[in-house]
Chain A
Amino acid sequence: MLTGLAVVGVARFLQQRQDFENATARSYQVEITARNRLARGANPEATRATIVNQQSKRQALRDDIDGETRDTALLVGAGLIAGLTGAALLFSGLIASMRRPLEELVAASGRLAGGDLEARVKVGGLSETATLGNAFNEMAAELQRRAGERDQLETMKDEFVLTASHELRSPLTSVQGFAELLMLERDRLTPQQADTVEIILDNTRHLVRLLNDLLDLARSDAGRLTIKPAPTDVAALVEDAVRTMRSQTEAAGQALHQEIEPGLPQVSVDRDRIRQVLVNLLTNAHEYSPEGASIEVRAMHRGSQVEMTVEDDGPGMAEDQLEHIFERFTRGDAGLTQHVGGTGLGLAISKSLVELHGGTIEADSTKGQGSTFRVRLPAIPAPSPNGPPAGNTDAHDAQPREGAR
């Protein structure tokens, strides 16, 4: 309202200023005419009075207009302040009505970025923020739809890998089983027939490993590689893995020794998974080492951990190879890999499995001087004298344990 007054005031002032200038101009006109008359010597008394009159009249006009200028300036100042205050009030309302939706958008974006695909904003307020809100909600809905599709595909892939693995495993079981049966009758086969069966067996084992590794990899990628830990006897675990490898190392004329420290504490592990890790390390030692090589498996107590090592005196690895040994599809020397049946996935899977158990795995090697792989797993603290820990109920745990403890 004050602003309106100021505008009116300024307009009135401009009119007054015009009037003042006109009146001043007229007064000068009168004075100049009087001075001309005075110069001509006509009625000097009256003319002089007129001049003085005009001068004081202009002074009065000037005083008037100065007062008006001061008043108008004050009015304009007040008007300006009032106007600015009004504008500020108006804008702060506008800003407030935009701020809430914007803050909500920022919060929802944060949630969306954090993986909460249900994040949406309430749409309302100014048309601009409403449009923004709608756009955000549409984007979030689209993201959610695509994530759903991706999950569905992931599940389908998983089921496919599982089904394929099952369907392939039955015929493989027959092929491997009957080939093994033939090898039990090796004495009745010609050397050429025995070699042929050996080749069938080698390739079947390779296929089975590929199948297992691919399945584990699919599980690992989906974050669904799970373990079912139970208190487990380390000696039985190592012996089980060694027994599995014995026929293969013997066929290559390799010496496979085990050395298990007596009185080792139990470890809480998924027996089949840690056995898989040990078999994998032993298979690598067997396949990368030449005929007649020596492979040592040891288990020992190391502080609060149990350490299992697999050591061979094979070709070893250079430092740059060693660095990448636990990465996928990394294998030993290219020159050697053509004789090696590995998938290049075994150590990557072994690392995931050991780490799932809260353990560590590391490799140590010198080119030309063999390799040592070290697995460390947390030991179950020693039991109190009157409460020994429950034994593993797994059937395989009840197997004979010659030389253990």
Chain B
Amino acid sequence: MTRVLIADDSETILLLMRTRLEMEGYEVLTAADGVEVVEAVRSADPAPDILLLDAMMPRKSGIEALRELRAAGVETPALIVSAHQDEMDAGAPTEAEVSGYVTKPIDFDRLFASIASLTA
């Protein structure tokens, strides 16, 4: 079963994403910020197949967490979730770091299609 790690500082959004992903048949791990993302990727067994990270989170943003993981050699595909593409203008991750973007509100049909193609 495909394991998806989702990270967002809003519990409501986590609940929404978990529900929709589980209904699609994914196994879901959650994190509330970038620090938990790094921990979860290192300790989860089996490791997540894809990361869905909110761009802006307290303590450590999704982009910072991803950068740290990439530096440590983690190559798991990652989608960055942001309120708007504009948030990416500053400190934009490189193509090597990120596999794609998802904007809020989330278009779940597009999201499922992206996850399917990245974990195929």
- Chain A interface (Cβ within 8 Å of chain B)? 162, 165-166, 169-170, 172-174, 176-178, 180-181, 184, 204, 208, 215, 219, 240, 243-244, 272, 393-396, 398-400
Contact = CB atoms under 8 A, between A and B. Distances in A.
A170 B10 contact: yes
A396 B12 CA distance: 25
Contacts of B12: 174
B105 A208 contact: yes
Nearest to B113: A399
Binding site secondary structure of chain A: helix
B84 A399 contact: no
A291 B110 CA distance: 26
B76 interface: no
Contacts of B56: 166
A184 B101 CA distance: 25
B74 interface: no
B110 A244 contact: yes
B25 interface: no
A240 B95 CA distance: 21
Interface in B18-70: 19-20, 23, 56
Given A181-B20, A400-B113, A272 B85 contact: yes
A395 B100 contact: yes
Contact of B86 (A178, A181, A215, A394): A215
A176 B105 contact: yes
Contact of A395 (B79, B105, B109): B79
Given A169-B104, A180-B108, A162 B86 contact: yes
The 10 A-B pairs with the shortest beta carbon distances in the complex, nearest first, are A395-B100, A398-B117, A177-B16, A173-B105, A169-B83, A166-B83, A399-B113, A173-B104, A176-B105, A395-B114
A395 B99 contact: yes
A394 B100 contact: yes
B57 to A, nearest CB: 12
Nearest to B89: A226
Contacts of A166: 56, 83-84, 87
Contacts of B83: 165-166, 169-170
A394 B99 CA distance: 7
A244 B16 contact: no
Contacts of B79: 395
Which of B83, B87, B95, B107 gathers most chain A CB within 10 Å?
B83
Contacts of B85: 272
A13 to B, nearest CB: 91
Contacts of A208: 105
A398 B114 contact: yes
Contacts of A178: 16
Interface string B84-120: 1111000000010001110111111110011011100
A169 B113 CA distance: 22
B109 A243 contact: yes
Contacts of B20: 177, 181
11 contacts: A165-B83, A166-B56, A170-B10, A174-B13, A177-B13, A177-B16, A180-B108, A181-B16, A395-B101, A396-B110, A398-B114
Given A394-B100, A400-B113, A181 B95 contact: no
Contacts of B86: 162, 215, 219
Given A177-B16, A177-B20, 18 more contacts: A162-B87, A166-B56, A172-B104, A173-B16, A173-B104, A174-B10, A177-B17, A181-B16, A204-B105, A240-B110, A243-B113, A395-B99, A395-B100, A395-B101, A395-B114, A395-B118, A398-B114, A400-B116
Contacts of B116: 399-400
B58 to A, nearest CB: 13
A235 to B, nearest CB: 15
B13 A396 contact: no
Contact of B84 (A162, A176, A396, A398): A162
Given A162-B84, A177-B20, A396-B100, A172 B117 contact: no
A283 to B, nearest CB: 14
Which of A166, A219, A393 gathers most chain B CB within 10 Å?
A166
A169 B84 contact: yes
A51 B10 CA distance: 137
Given A170-B10, A244-B107, A396 B16 contact: no
A400 B12 CA distance: 30
